[in-house]
Structure 1
Amino acid sequence: MTYLALYRKYRPSNFDEIVGQRPIVRVLKNQLKSGRIGHAYLFCGMRGTGKTSTARVFAKALNCEKGPTDNPCGVCRNCLAFQNGSFMDIVEMDAASHRGIDDIRDLREKVNFPPSQGRYRVYIIDEVHMLTQEAFNALLKTLEEPPKHTVFILCTTEPNKLPATILSRCMRFDFKRVSLGDIAEHLKRVSQKQGLEVEDRALKLIARHSQGSIRDSLSLLDKAAGLSSEVITYEDVLEIFGAVEDEVFIKIALAAKEKNPGEVLTILEGVFEKGKDINRFVEDLMYFYRNLLLILIKCPPELIDLPQEEILKLKDIASKYKKEEILQILDVLKAAANEVKWTIVPRIVLESALVKLTMLSNSAFEEVGKVEDKNAGKIISQKKEIISDSTAVTGIVEKKEVNKEVNKEVSIENNPGEMVLKVEKQEKKEEPSKKEDNTLEIIKAKWQDVVDFLSKNGKMLLTSMITSFKILPEKMQKNHLILSAQEASQGQLDFIKSQKKLIEEAVKNVTGLEVSIQDVKIKGIEGKKEREKDDDFVENVIKLFGKDIVEIKEE
């Protein structure tokens, strides 16, 4: 006999076997009990959550000889015909391959025929969002007022693509992602029926990687069963997925916290040598740090969904971190995950991201201190005291840190008993217009929306670099925008400058403002150059008048 895949063999045959959709099941069963049967239903949700299976069970319950019933018997003539696929009054149509107006016209002609075997003629249209606009228009009138013996059940993963006229004529049910606990329990029941011995840890790993899909989880279990004829272990499942064990993530977390990039890269080298899937590695590492965050913010244990002994291990590691650090680490990994999918050198991207973790874990809060120091005061001075007699000439150089171009004037004042050399600095202030201030504030407020706009339009590398190097709007000069960056090399700045047209278009789409990007500068460079300029001026004054008669006083 031909082998039957697990997801087909264990497809639900009644409402009690539908996993993870209790509210929907309860409503449908109540409708069957009361006889309030709708003429059109819309089942929507992600793949593998039971939309088509629920539609089939509902159709079976409508046509059971003891029905309509919320519990089809499974032994009557109609139920048996349904199970072996010979029941004529349930029509399943795949809209992905029958999407044209001619297919819908054919359906409209047949829909008026009464059922030949059962009580209702049920049309299950899968992937209904694939129908053309003309096909939707042809279906509309029939869907609104079908014959009394006809029920339509539309299934889709993308309800947003359906016309509003179709949506308004259907009773909508949203199928949610199935929880890890429900999937693991279902896998355990299937394993026992199949005579498979599977470790609980392996079942939970399969459930986690199925991403809320029952069908995917059964396919993965089917695949794992081919590796071992005795016991399916956690290591077997890891091998199937190309994933790594949690101990690797623990080592990375400890090395990152200890600021040891060499150890992190050594661990990563071992992952590459085993040929593991890079994309899955990044996703699993993010999931690991997510669990650490949940522990730190004291979430319920069921949200972590790990054995108690593993949670205790994670608590020990989580105690070494702060919440803000993990949030920054997740931001770095998220950017790396996006870039790894598109770059031709994923290894380098991943290595640089993990090295960055070793810096973030120890310097996550240094920026706050820098900002506070910067705002506290901008007076930089040097002191030098000399002993001189009453006829000595005292030179006074007043030195202030400024961020704009300055004019310097030197004047000599004669006071009783002393001659004063005074260096005066006059700031040439450029007051930006209120319009420029408002424009800059608007762009700053909407900057994250600008980055999201670039990401949604597929500019993953540019988005990743903007996030990683903290590219931010710095100031406006007339209609020219200057951006600032941190920790970026000159080559990286050149790349961002080459993409400035894309950034300008994103700013226009998000804010409605037309600006041109004049430059991208590393933050702090301008102030540094100005300080160097002041230092040169002071040095020239000392050379001119002699260091013995010049005193630099703090203001």
Structure 2
Amino acid sequence: MSYQALYRVWRPQSFLDVVGQEHVTKTLQNALLQQKTTHAYLFSGPRGTGKTSAAKILAKAVNCEKMPVSEPCNECSACLGITDGSIPDVIEIDAASNNGVEEIRDIRDKVKYAPNAVPYKVYIIDEVHMLSIGAFNALLKTLEEPPKHVIFILATTEPHKIPLTIISRCQRFDFKRITAQDITGRMAHIASESGLQFEEKALHVIARAAGGGMRDALSLLDQAVSFSTDQVTVEDALTVTGSVSQNYLNRIGQAIYKKEIPDALAALDDMMLQGKDPARFAEDMILYYRDMLLYKTAPTLEESMERALLDDDFTTLAGEIEHEQIYEYIDILNKTQQEIKFSNHARIYLEVCLVKLCQTESKKTVADLDGVQDLFAKIAALEKEIELLKANKVPVGEATQTQQPAKKATARSTKGFKANTRMIREVLKEATREDLNSVKSRWGDLLEMLNSRQMRSQSALLNDAEPAAASPNAFILKFKYEIHCQMATENHKLIETISQFFKEITGNQYQFVGVPEDQWLQIREEFLQNQKQDGDKNEDDQEDPLISEAMKLVGADLIEIKN
């Protein structure tokens, strides 16, 4: 095929072309100029943000014949050879399809050989999180102390799946999502250099639909160019991305404001027949009202508007609608957008959302009227009470003071957290020292796992907690502070995470029951006393057979038993 996609033709060949990642490119450029490059790098971030491109640019820069330089010259034989892939010393590996131990062992065996054509041998391992545990272990020592002529560059979209032992041996760079403004500027440059005709607003629509990825934006631009005839228009971009046109947004906005439910549902039906994406429609409506709020509060910031165009219908509606209504509209649309993500009936949710939006204002008015009437009723009751106090010659200040102690007593009577004593007793009945040692030995690993998964707040709750007893299926977690115990036992996500962790490590799906330290001492003491009483009772039940036979012969009244 003679035609190549735009994102392949315009792949960055220098750090200057990597858009929106200045915090990464500047650091790498300074390291190149000062010749302080390290032996291993980890590039992490969302898709299409330039991780692999930056890795190849870094490979060219360290091997450039004009080294030290902050940018590869792209003219020498080394730069040209790395760009076209003819130099075998720069090896790009896809870890998704080469994730076994044998492939990594092959790298470990070959890494000791010196490069043939350039000063440094560079291994670029893409999607490195797909490697197996055995492959990571095989890579570990080589990654820590490779030969002086080798550089490893690891790229991933899911850094939380990489072992901490690997991450600690790399210099990590986090790529962030590219802003819509940067994407628009880059697309405008590419379109101008490629001789494409376009409307600037069309690029804004594509940039917003790309979700922060440059590759996705260029793919959508490719589609829009193929869809259009001579010029990429706003309508072309809306059709390709599944977004909703300004006319439909104005039409639905007017119907919602005027509480015309049939018109709103009819407009939604027209959009669904045109194949518009329901989730995209919800997002467009949120951005539409966001732009309306921005226009009402800061009309001079027209450049900051993401979705709406300042036509007559939009400005008229913005002048009529109140701020409070916009807040409620955005809140309802946001909840609907979240519900759509986990449903197969997106259209039903949108229809219910439009009906709710049309009825919001009337419900709010009724609620306000009810609140005013309640307020007037309370004022009238207070006036009567004051008149009664004056008639009895009781100063109002004294009456207020007599009520204060009652409020304090009520506040003190609030009940604290109570541990589940029934579950604790069940665990104690089957508790063993082996199970407790098994849980305690893995407790530090659990806290480290919570920190690595960005669950530091949950981990903080467990810092002052320790396993106190364990059975084959559950364990008791003793907390130093009562509030930490209550927060932990009410956190369903934390409970599920702990249970899943122990299932992966030990094979047992432990459940835990929390108890504050002071309550634990009391419950444990009561349990031990009950156990002792039950043992004494069992001993008493074992009556002497001689005494039993004597009682049968002469009767219990005539027998005196002496120990």
Per the normalisation by structure 2, the TM-score is 0.65
Contact 1:43–1:172, Cα closer than 8 Å, also in 2: yes
SS in 1 for 2:125: strand
Q: Does 2:86 align with 1:57?
A: no
The superposition leaves residues 327-379 of structure 1 with CA deviations (integer Å, 9 ceiling, x where unpaired) of 32223222322333444433222111101001124444654664565576579
Alignment partner, residue 509 of structure 1: 492
The one-letter amino acid of 1:112's match is: K
Contact 1:92–1:124, Cα closer than 8 Å, also in 2: yes
Moved more, 294-303 or 106-115: 294-303
Q: Does 2:195 align with 1:195?
A: yes
Alignment partner, residue 85 of structure 2: 85
Contact 1:324–1:364, Cα closer than 8 Å, also in 2: no
Alignment partner, residue 70 of structure 2: 70
Report the alpha carbon displacement of residue 296 of structure 1 after superposing the two structures with TM. 4.3
The superposition leaves residues 260-296 of structure 1 with CA deviations (integer Å, 9 ceiling, x where unpaired) of 2122112212212323222222222222222223334
Q: Does 2:19 align with 1:19?
A: yes
Distance 1:39 1:366, change over 3 A: farther
The one-letter amino acid of 1:30's match is: N
Counterpart Cα distance in 2 of 1:124 and 1:362: 61
Alignment partner, residue 221 of structure 2: 221
Report the alpha carbon displacement of residue 216 of structure 1 after superposing the two structures with TM. 0.4
Alignment partner, residue 259 of structure 1: 259
The superposition leaves residues 412-460 of structure 1 with CA deviations (integer Å, 9 ceiling, x where unpaired) of xxxxxxxxxxxxxxxxxxx999567989xxxxxxxxxxxxxxxxxxxxx
Distance 1:376 1:138, change over 3 A: farther
Report the alpha carbon displacement of residue 29 of structure 1 after superposing the two structures with TM. 0.8
Distance 1:195 1:508, change over 3 A: closer
Alignment partner, residue 34 of structure 1: 34
| Unaligned runs of at least 5 residues, structure 1 | 382-430, 440-504, 515-555
Correspondence list, 1:285-364, <5 A: 285-298=285-298, 300-305=301-306, 310=310, 314=314, 316-364=316-364
The one-letter amino acid of 2:492's match is: N
- Structure (1 or 2) with the greater strand fraction: 1
Contact 2:206–2:241, Cα closer than 8 Å, also in 1: no
Counterpart Cα distance in 1 of 2:214 and 2:27: 21
Report the alpha carbon displacement of residue 97 of structure 1 after superposing the two structures with TM. 1.5
RMSD: 3.1
SS in 2 for 1:79: helix
Distance 1:99 1:376, change over 3 A: farther
Distance 1:292 1:379, change over 3 A: closer
Q: Does 2:47 align with 1:47?
A: yes
The one-letter amino acid of 1:115's match is: P
The superposition leaves residues 395-414 of structure 1 with CA deviations (integer Å, 9 ceiling, x where unpaired) of xxxxxxxxxxxxxxxxxxxx
The one-letter amino acid of 1:159's match is: P
Contact 1:46–1:177, Cα closer than 8 Å, also in 2: yes
Counterpart Cα distance in 1 of 2:243 and 2:66: 50
SS in 2 for 1:116: coil
Report the alpha carbon displacement of residue 230 of structure 1 after superposing the two structures with TM. 1.4
Correspondence list, 1:154-169, <5 A: 154-169=154-169
Report the alpha carbon displacement of residue 183 of structure 1 after superposing the two structures with TM. 0.9
The one-letter amino acid of 2:336's match is: A
Contact 1:248–1:267, Cα closer than 8 Å, also in 2: yes
Distance 1:364 1:339, change over 3 A: same
The one-letter amino acid of 1:207's match is: A
Alignment partner, residue 282 of structure 2: 282
Alignment partner, residue 239 of structure 1: 239
SS in 1 for 2:255: helix
Counterpart Cα distance in 2 of 1:204 and 1:433: 59
The superposition leaves residues 490-539 of structure 1 with CA deviations (integer Å, 9 ceiling, x where unpaired) of xxxxxxxxxxxxxxx9956279999xxxxxxxxxxxxxxxxxxxxxxxxx
Counterpart Cα distance in 2 of 1:214 and 1:506: 44
Contact 1:93–1:126, Cα closer than 8 Å, also in 2: yes
Counterpart Cα distance in 1 of 2:222 and 2:319: 39
The one-letter amino acid of 2:74's match is: G
The one-letter amino acid of 2:148's match is: K
SS in 2 for 1:310: coil
Contact 1:21–1:175, Cα closer than 8 Å, also in 2: yes
Contact 2:51–2:175, Cα closer than 8 Å, also in 1: yes
The superposition leaves residues 103-159 of structure 1 with CA deviations (integer Å, 9 ceiling, x where unpaired) of 221211111111111111111111112222222222222212111111111111112
Correspondence list, 1:77-156, <5 A: 77-156=77-156
Distance 1:323 1:145, change over 3 A: farther
Distance 1:368 1:112, change over 3 A: farther
Report the alpha carbon displacement of residue 72 of structure 1 after superposing the two structures with TM. 1.5
Contact 1:256–1:361, Cα closer than 8 Å, also in 2: no
Per the normalisation by structure 1, the TM-score is 0.66
Distance 1:163 1:301, change over 3 A: farther
Q: Does 2:162 align with 1:179?
A: no
Distance 1:197 1:108, change over 3 A: same
Distance 1:290 1:161, change over 3 A: farther
SS in 1 for 2:227: coil
Counterpart Cα distance in 2 of 1:273 and 1:305: 25
Distance 1:351 1:437, change over 3 A: farther
Distance 1:321 1:103, change over 3 A: farther
Counterpart Cα distance in 2 of 1:31 and 1:204: 35
Distance 1:131 1:365, change over 3 A: farther
Alignment partner, residue 529 of structure 2: none
Contact 1:126–1:155, Cα closer than 8 Å, also in 2: yes
Counterpart Cα distance in 1 of 2:361 and 2:298: 21
Correspondence list, 1:434-449, <5 A: none
SS in 2 for 1:129: helix
Report the alpha carbon displacement of residue 186 of structure 1 after superposing the two structures with TM. 1.1
- Structure (1 or 2) with the greater helix fraction: 2
Contact 2:43–2:153, Cα closer than 8 Å, also in 1: yes
Distance 1:143 1:510, change over 3 A: closer
Distance 1:432 1:178, change over 3 A: closer
Distance 1:40 1:297, change over 3 A: farther
Counterpart Cα distance in 2 of 1:172 and 1:313: 50
The one-letter amino acid of 1:188's match is: A
Distance 1:119 1:225, change over 3 A: same
The one-letter amino acid of 2:90's match is: I
Structure of greater relative contact order (alpha carbons < 8 Å, 6+ residues apart): 1
Alignment partner, residue 409 of structure 1: none
The superposition leaves residues 157-211 of structure 1 with CA deviations (integer Å, 9 ceiling, x where unpaired) of 1122222222222211111111111111111111122221111111111111111
Counterpart Cα distance in 2 of 1:219 and 1:510: 38
